[in-house]
Structure 1
Amino acid sequence: MSLTVNGIEELKKLSGSELGTSSWITVTQERIDTFADATDDHQWIHVDAERAATGPFGATIAHGYLTLSLFIPMFTELLDVQGVTTKVNYGLNKVRFPAPVTVGSRLRLTAKLAEVTDVPGGVQITVAGAVEIEGGAKPAAVLESVSRFYV
């Protein structure tokens, strides 16, 4: 369920708030293959189902950066900031991939708006997030994302 805020001042009031949990996204082999093509990373653990079946994870796995890239659609499902002219990914403070994402896994994001700080022309937000694997003991990714919103 998306939380909509209207402008920077409303966003500032949410600093420190839990944003909730996104819907599930299924990681298909087609998505993995498309990501491999886009990044020229065709390592067998990602794209060779037959070989990967006998490998360390028992199936193909998503690229760590594919998992990370799914943060954006999951995050935008949680928070919609209106009344700004530009939204920019500014970077990451931290990111770890504690568990592999095997093909067919379902992922979702749980996030907290950790901090909102003023920058010239807008604000910078830091979001603490965990990308969970359905039924997994560990998350697929744990991260701190930094974005800027300009007015």
Structure 2
Amino acid sequence: MKWLLLFLSCFCLSGCSYLTDFYIFNTSEELITISYKTKKTEAYHPFVTAPKIASFKNLKNVGKKETTQVAIEIKDSLNIMVTLQPKQALWIGVDRNFILKNDRQQLEENLDYLTITQGQKIIKYSAKDIASQFDEFTYKIVGIAVE
């Protein structure tokens, strides 16, 4: 009986896992340029060093992620610069079981700075103020919508 309860407990806990993707969305009608510097090379978690571009119809439905060499410029292992067309999103990482109100500090851990350029407007965020810019669109999609 003890083993049955242990098995059921483990089974229930393992079924609750999900992945949350992090994006920066270009919801405007013009090109935007995103550049950021990470603290270390990262393949998952927020602010990866190998981002991907995806198209989207709305902020809750993102298409297939692709690496587009023309739009993504990796200056070195920690500096990334990307140009997004309207209705494109930049995938910047993934995390397991992320909840924005509880896990905000994870958005700061690998970021040095983030700059978004839209026309003549330039906005720069440090690691300390980046978490407040993110919104939770679904439990699987968290991001910044640039209007």
What is the TM-score when the length of structure 2 is the normalising length?
Answer: 0.24
Larger strand proportion of the pair = 2
- Return the structure number with greater relative CO, CA threshold 8 A, min gap 6: 2
The structure in which a higher percent of residues are helix is 1
TM-score (norm 1): 0.24
